[in-house]
Amino acid sequence: MSAASARPSQEQPARPAGVRESWRGGGILAALGALLLKFKGLLILLLGKAKLVLFGLAKLKTLLSMLAYFGTYWAMYGWKYAAGIVVSIYVHEMGHVFAARRHGIKASAPVFIPFVGAFILLKEQVTDMRVNARIGLEGPVFGLGAALAFFVAYRTTGIPILGVIAATGAWINMFNLLPVWFLDGARGYSSLTRNDRWTLVASLAGVAFILKDPLLGILALVGAGVSALGTPSDESDKPMLFLYLFLATSLALIVHASGTRLGH
């Protein structure tokens, strides 16, 4: 049936004339153009970050190690899950690169190791504890963004594998918040005073109790050990304290929300 002879019906409701005329008159395009101009600064910032995130893909070592990681997990869990986890880990590592560059420190592109994860190398020593802490936690910040993107995609489409990737990515980033060894949480704790650390431990324990989250409880328990035995900073770093707590809580919520939805 042609457009000229089509009649409105229950199956094909008529469009309001205003919508059709607005489209024909370019109203939508004009509104979009005005919106782009209004937020051009934000768009330039996002494009700049996207360019940085993609720069690692131009490095042969990164590509080859990424393919090895992808192939290993493809064989074990399927290509969709493998691809999602590779993207999640890559975005996390590029968060460290972004933070390092922001502070004028050169960093390598990520290198993947199957069953371990990935890492970057800083090409100079970081002596400022606050800078070190921010480089450390920028990985989980980017990782939270990736997990949230997969979670939103899951809730929008209902595709179960997206929820699994979101939960796994969030769990990996939570694990990295442990304040031990070379993990990101150790860098985050490095700029906290002893009082800051105990405040964070008490807050984590409270959130773990409310959410009944075992990994949050482990974060609090390990943090208590570091608070009691580790060497604290001399100056308080409240922004880092709140960032750590925000990341741990947000990532735990994604794990819980993804798991609950998948259980239905």
Whether residue 222 is contained in a domain is answered as yes
* Weakest mean pLDDT among 73-87, 150-164, 246-260: 246-260
Whether residue 95 is contained in a domain is answered as yes
Token duo for residue 58: 């131009």
Cβ–Cβ under 8 Å, residues 261 and 154: yes
Q: How confident is the prediction for the chain on average, in pLDDT?
A: 83
Token duo for residue 107: 């960093």
* Weakest mean pLDDT among 22-31, 90-99, 189-198, 236-245: 22-31
* Weakest mean pLDDT among 16-30, 94-108, 212-226, 246-260: 16-30
Beta bridge partners of 113: 117
Give percent helix, percent strand, percent coil of the chain, each to the nearest 5.
75, 5, 25
8-state DSSP, 56: G
C-alpha span between 99 and 91 (Å, rounded): 12
- Domain ranges, residue 115: 52-263
Average pLDDT over every residue of 125-139: 94
Cβ–Cβ under 8 Å, residues 143 and 95: yes
**Count of domains in the chain?**
1
Give the percent of the chain with pLDDT over 70: 76
The predicted structure's pLDDT at residue 173? 97
> Does 7 score more than 60 pLDDT?
no
C-alpha span between 75 and 77 (Å, rounded): 6
> Does 40 score more than 50 pLDDT?
no
pTM of the shown model: 0.77
pLDDT in tens, 206-259: 999 999 999 999 999 999 999 999 999 999 999 999 999 999 999 999 999 986
Whether residue 19 is contained in a domain is answered as no
Whether residue 96 is contained in a domain is answered as yes
Pairing status of strand 117-119 against strand 111-113: antiparallel
The predicted structure's pLDDT at residue 45? 44
* Residue recorded with tokens 């409701």: 13
How many C-beta neighbours within 10 Å does residue 104 have?
8
pLDDT band at 59 (very low <50, low <70, confident <90, very high): confident
Whether residue 214 is contained in a domain is answered as yes
Whether residue 179 is contained in a domain is answered as yes
Average pLDDT over every residue of 148-174: 96
Whether residue 102 is contained in a domain is answered as yes
Whether residue 28 is contained in a domain is answered as no
